[in-house]
Each structure stands twice: as C-alpha cells, then as structure tokens.
Structure 1
C-alpha cells in the first residue's frame, strides 16, 4: 500500500547543513568500519586483496545498517523528506510522456501529477540551492498545465501525491 506524499516546507540552509553533516559522518563511518573490518580479516586470515575488499564491503553494510537505524530520528526529517521527494519525482518521470499526452486530453489526475512534479522539481532546486532546470519546453509545459487547471476550475497548486494514481497510466 502506497502512502500519500505531502509537500512540506523546509529551510534550504538547514537542509543543506544537515545533508553535509550527515554525508561527512556517513563517509567517515564507512572509512572507519571498512578499515576496521579489513584489518580484522587480514590479521585473522592473512593479507589478501579479497579480504580487504570484503572488509570494505562489510564496512558498507555496517554503515548502511547504522544509517537505516537512524533514518527515522527527528533530526533526519529534512534529509529523509528530500530523499522521498526525489524518489517520487523519479517515479513520475517514468510516466512523463503518458502524463503529457493525458494532460492534452484534460485528464484531471494527470494534471495533478504533472503539477506536483513541477512543484517538486522547483522545491528540490531551491533546497539544493540550484537554479531550476527551466528550459523553454518545460516553461511552456508549466504554463499549459496552469492554463488547463484554470480552465477546468482546479486549484493552482497540488500539495500531495498518491503513487497509486500512477497505476492508471502506462510507463513511457
């Protein structure tokens, strides 16, 4: 059962600071765990490239397990939110050509999903302190979607995305 994803507001500076801190911490843990496991394996079984590689792999597994245990902590909210946003935007991108075709037929669900996609891409760019990838084609599409929503009496913004809505469409 898919859970409805809700757009939330976060401070870009707070997100970027936490993302950097967590990235550095995870990289440090991977290095330490990888070296520790490699050292334990080579000390116990003798020096070998494969034992060193196995140590690094075990370090990766230990770092991943630790990260999985910590991912639901409150101080991970912003980072977890951005991962989920990226995941949903990636899901939607697999359906873009179908969604675009359905928007031309005034499909309200497709209009909602495409509006969410554009809003999510905009928010992701802001959180990552990047300029949105708004080429002329994307801007024209955003305008077309906005005008269709107005014509159909739909609200300008969409605040949530239900992955189940994609099941009505074929992947492109």
Structure 2
C-alpha cells in the first residue's frame, strides 16, 4: 500500500454523505420489512419483538449487500483508501511492540514498517480531525526518527510493502 495525499474536506464530506445515506437505507428497509413481517406474521396482541428483530436483521443484511456493491464505485476511492490505510495501520499496531524490538536490533524492515505506521497514523488523525492525537503521534514519530538516525536506518515509508508484514507472522 502506498501513502497518498487526499483532500480532507472531500473525505469528510463523502464520509458524512455515505453514513447518512446508508443509515437512511437501512432504516427504511429495516422498518419497512419489520412492518410487512408484522402484518403477515405478527401477533395481534402485540408481542412482536422477534418479528421486528427479524425484519431489522434482514434489512441490515440487504443494506450491507447494497453497500458492498456500491462501495466499488470510483466515488468511494478516498473512503476506500482511508479504510485500507486503517486496516494496514491496525495490522502493524497489533505487533508494534515486536516491530519496535526488531528496530532496536537494527532491523531495516522494522524501520520501514514503523515509518509507514507513523505516517499512516498521522494521516488518519488529520483526516479525522483529531488534533490532540495528531500532536501526540507527531512527537512519537519524531522520537522514532531520532532512533532511526542513531541506528543509521533508512526510515522511508515509501518502501513499505504489505508483504513485509508476513515476516512477523
């Protein structure tokens, strides 16, 4: 995965639009199906929790199916990039302590993976508008860069490859 610049304003607008549209789709389908199921299979005395729950769960499944089909469109490029970046950062985060140990041993791959992690975290926090987390992460990145300089390691995030994570498993 390669880091790239995306417009924060466009990202936030699309994120809000997609959230609202798919929440509405889910609400309409879920409530509509619940009403239909209640009409045909409901209890006239009023105990219809399982019927309503069934309608909502079917509505959720349909909404997820619609989303997975639509999310492949070019409109979602920035959002897909953000989702994939979060996945990569979390994969590294899950083993960060091990990567940091390898960095202390002078491992060049660890320097590249951690450089990517720091850049990805900063970009995600910037996109999400997390100013407090951003400044904290920037401090951690600066400490990391000093450590890499001390160890004479190249901390170039552009050399990162997903295949590098296979080395940790």
Give me the CA root mean square deviation: 2.0
Q: Greater helix percent: which structure? A: 2
Alignment match of 1:33 (pick from 29, 35, 38): 29
Higher relative contact order (CA 8 A, sep 6+): 1
Q: Which residue of 2 aligns with 1:57?
A: 57
Q: Which residue of 2 aligns with 1:118?
A: 118
Q: Which residue of 2 aligns with 1:99?
A: 99
Is residue 15 of structure 1 aligned with residue 11 of structure 2? yes
Q: Is the 8 A contact 1:38 1:52 kept in 2?
A: yes
Is residue 24 of structure 1 aligned with residue 20 of structure 2? yes
Normalising by structure 1, report the TM-score.
0.86
Post-superposition shift, 1:143?
A: 3.1
Q: Which runs of structure 2 are paired with 1:1-172 in the superposition (5 Å)?
A: 5-47=1-43, 48-131=48-131, 133=133, 134-135=135-136, 139=139, 141-150=140-149, 152=152, 154=154, 157-159=156-158, 161-169=160-168
Number of residue-to-residue matches in the alignment: 163
Normalising by structure 2, report the TM-score.
0.87
Q: Is the 8 A contact 2:116 2:158 kept in 1?
A: yes
Q: Is the 8 A contact 2:102 2:110 kept in 1?
A: yes
- For 2:93 and 2:158, locate their aligned partners in 1 and report how far apart those are by CA, in whole Å: 18
Post-superposition shift, 1:131?
A: 1.2
Contiguous gaps of at least 5 residues in structure 1: none
Moved over 6 A (4+): none
- For 2:163 and 2:144, locate their aligned partners in 1 and report how far apart those are by CA, in whole Å: 21
